[in-house]
Structure 1
Amino acid sequence: MVLANGEEQGALDIGMLCMLKRASLLVQDLIKTEGDAFTLEAVDDDGNSRLHWNLPGVLLNKLIKMRISRDDHLNRLYTFEPYIALMVDQVKAARLCGVTLVRKMRSDRDEVEHYVQQLNSCVEGIRQEARSKSFARKLKNYQRSSNKNHKELTGYVDALFERHSRLLVLRVDLGYQKQHCRTTQAEAKRDREHLLRNKRSNKLFDDMVGYIWKLEHGPEKGFHYHMMFFFDGSKVREDITKALLIGRYWTELITKGRGVYYNCNADKSRYKSCGIGMVDHRDSPMRDTLNQLAIPYLTKTDIYMKLQAIGRGLGKMERPSLKDPRGRPRALLAA
């Protein structure tokens, strides 16, 4: 994705999400296995031995090679979903974070036997913890929290449609240039609050009826926001231009040239259905896409990791009051 200033800005760190998804699935596969991960295999008359790899060992090695447990920066910023957190805790407890396993490497029998015990103990620790009641509670609570956020946001958007017959939906990512990627979470929060506070006196935000924001962090991008803005569609059009102006306002005035933005609406033509742009309250397919694709985009990282934010990491504008039921009824969508 290319920014207005020519730099690239991924809306989400897709590589990181794919790695975490794979890690979660590998842990779940590992839990289902039985038997030793590794056994001792004698290879010569001098007492040298090597590891014999069983399926659990192959899975454990793949997880160790991902280096998730060694990424201190990531571990400080995020809380992992329970399967990944379980693996990270057990790998650290077994002191395997920096281990590199080589299939054909030979060594002294006592040394290899020590590794066999260490590795098998780690796998058994993962299995036992995964079967515990405390882990089941952690998993249930984590999933409930993610589902609650999605339900809350879709309910918020439904309330906007109760009040307005058409919404102009913008999705804009707001962040910082690479040389400013060390911007602190507190500074990013102040910039976001400044942007939203100025809506009261800035004509750019006239007829804005709602917004949603989500704080994220990337290893190269630092702290950044995924934003959705909702404008009264009966009064505002030109979503691409509107999103462009908001992005420029962020970069030029709010961040004083330190910021960057990505105008998602400018790329909406690439998708058959994206849920942004002009959305009519009667357009069920478009609203379904908004609820099933556009809104989950804001909370996608929460499936595998949740940012340990100072204060809230997700927010929205106050929910609108309902329309007076005595007003003129809306037209029904023609069959």
Structure 2
Amino acid sequence: MEYEESPGENSHPFDEDWNIDWDWGTNHSPSDNDVPWWEGEERLARGENLQQWDMNDEELFFEEEVSDDQEELLSESDKKFIAHLRRAEAVIKGIFDSREDHFEVVEKKNGKLKLFQSLHGKEFLKVGKKGCDERCAQLRVVDKNPYVGIYHKVTRRWEYELRAMVEYGVLAGGVSRTVNVMNKIMEEIKDEASRPIIQDFSRRADRAAKDRKKAATAIIDRCFAQRSRLLVLRVDLGYRKGKFIESEDFMKDMKMVKKEWTLMSDSLKSGKVAPNVMAVFGKLEYGVLAGFHYHLVVIMKGSGNRQDINYAKMVGQYWYSEVTGGEGRYFNCNRIKHRYKKLGIGTINYHEKDKIDALKGVVIDYIVKSDYYMSALLPSKKTFVQLSCTNKEQMVRRGRPRRYLSKV
């Protein structure tokens, strides 16, 4: 029977990665007050006077038009915008982590000089060529991601040279000058990314992700120690498009979101949403366009529970109707599990090593990954929730000995 979408159900994930080409957007000339957040904190640490941006007074979080109550597919412009931010973050991190020269002069056999570009150098120019739209300048939250902020800061400073590179492939003065200028840009990127405040920020975010992964893996092992078959649900929980445009108070929105998540997690643990729940993992993230959303993994007892798609739908519908009063939206990942190359959701038996590896190494990795926006916006707030609905006294294996040795 064909799957039917229900009210409040999205036909696409909240933060799906898109791979779309770009065109140049509107120029942006930064003002004197356009100071990256990390430089602002550094100045405050030195006791320098700096006017701080107050998120509660800012209306630039969500500039996109408010649609009706039904969630719509991302527009082509939105897809390009999200793709640009992801690529900018990745290329800046790649340049900082690499130790090679990204641009060099190579002499060909005929004596002519040729411009050599590393993979990171090529990607940097490729991202610059595809450009970004007006929202990169309009939405101040965009540059709260330190790596995206570095990308925009450096490309704005070297805008003339980069545009010439995009148009002609080489700067006036020939290959030698081109290499000199481009390597200066690469060094500036590394200098910005090597600031102690950014390195400390990145280490804390990545260390927290590793700790979450370790704790989640231990809970999964305990679940398999108790049960030979598990049912794993993967659901994204969010809100209707435009939900947070109506409010100017970021912290008030955050308080409401966490209150609703507490209600949802308590209902999952108590069995109100779905039966036989053994563990729950939930990570709150912030999307520049999607706003607040949760990535959720629910682990249930597998014996007698086979309808993973329907159970995931039950979770989403509970969020939509009981928790958010129709303001929520959800995406049922189990309904498209046949598309995943590495399947770590649905029914998983203790001896299915590939599925267990995918659960721990793909599904959980995605749930616990660092979110630089949330880390910057709410540095001291807890955004990851894990609930183990089993205890050590229950962890006695019942029934016949297992036929296969388990390494979980």
Say whether the fold is shared (TM-score over 0.5): yes
1:307 alignment partner in structure 2: 374
Q: 1:280 aligns with which of 343, 349, 355?
A: 349
Counterparts of 2:124 and 2:361, CA distance in 1: 34
Report the 3-state secondary structure (helix = DSSP H, G, I; strand = E; otherwise coil) of the residue aligned with 1:320: coil
- Name the CA distance, whole Å, in 2 between partners of 1:203 and 1:325: 23
Distance 1:132 1:201 in 2: 46
Instruction: After TM superposition, list the pairs within 5 Å mapping 1:39-78 onto structure 2.
Output: 62=126, 66=131, 70=137, 72-76=140-144, 78=145
Counterpart CA distance in 2 for 1:20 and 1:140 is 19
Residue matched to 1:177 = 240
**Deviation larger for 225-234 or 148-157:** 148-157
* Structure 1, 225-234 or 134-143: larger mean CA deviation: 134-143
User: Map of 1:82-93 to 2, 5 A cutoff?
Assistant: 87-88=150-151, 91=154
- Partner residue, 1:102: 164
Alignment correspondent of 1:160 = 223
Alignment partner, residue 4 of structure 1: 6
- SS of the equivalent of 1:220 reads coil
C-alpha displacement of 1:154: 1.4
* 1:320 counterpart = 2:323: no
Percent identity between matched residues is: 24
Q: Which runs of 5+ in 2 are unaligned?
A: 19-81, 106-114, 173-178, 248-252
**Residue 87 of structure 2: which of 16, 19, 41 is its match?**
19
The match for 2:293 is 224
Change (3 A) 1:31 1:234: same
2:363 to 294, 301, 309: 294
Equivalent residues of 2:230, 2:300 under 8 A apart: yes
Q: 1:97 to 1:189 in 2, by over 3 A?
A: farther
* Counterpart Cα distance in 2 of 1:294 and 1:185: 25
Q: CA deviation at 1:233?
A: 1.9
Aligned length: 304
Alpha-carbon distance in 2 for matches of 1:59, 1:276: 34
- Of 17, 32, 42, which residue of structure 1 is paired with 2:100? 32
User: 2 CA distance for matches of 1:194 and 1:98?
Assistant: 52
CA contact (8 A) 1:210 1:318 kept: yes
1:198 alignment partner, one of 267, 284, 287: 267
Distance of 2:187 and 2:146 partners within structure 1: 23
Deviates more, 1:159-168 or 1:247-256: 159-168
1:248-267 C-alpha deviation (Å, 9 max, x unpaired): 11111211111111111112
Task: State the Cα distance separating 1:27 from its structure 2 match.
Answer: 1.9
1:149 corresponds in structure 2 to 212
Partner of 1:41: none
2:278 to 198, 209, 217: 209
2:34 maps to what in 1? none
Q: Is the 8 A contact 2:92 2:189 kept in 1?
A: no
Does 66-75 or 236-245 show the bigger shift?
Answer: 66-75
Q: 1:207 to 1:130 in 2, by over 3 A?
A: closer
Equivalent position SS for 1:215: strand
> For residue 224 of structure 2, what is the amino acid of its counterpart?
F
CA gap 1:27/1:242 in 2 versus in 1, 3 angstroms: same
1:167 is displaced (CA, Å) by: 1.7
Q: 1:14 is paired with a residue of what secondary structure?
A: coil
Give 2:243's aligned amino acid: H
Structure 1 residue 102: Cα displacement: 2.7
Alpha-carbon distance in 2 for matches of 1:292, 1:130: 28
Matched AA of 1:221? A
Distance 1:202 1:332 in 2: 28
Instruction: Report the secondary structure of 1:214's partner residue.
Output: strand
Partners of 1:222 and 1:320 lie apart in 2 by: 33
Structure 1 residues 190, 132: CA separation in 2 closer, same or farther (over 3 Å shift)?
closer
Q: 1:55 to 1:90 in 2, by over 3 A?
A: farther
Give the secondary-structure state (helix, strand or coil) at the position aligned to 2:164.
coil
SS of 2:15's equivalent?
coil
Distance, in Å, in 1 between the alignment partners of 2:346 and 2:275 is 17
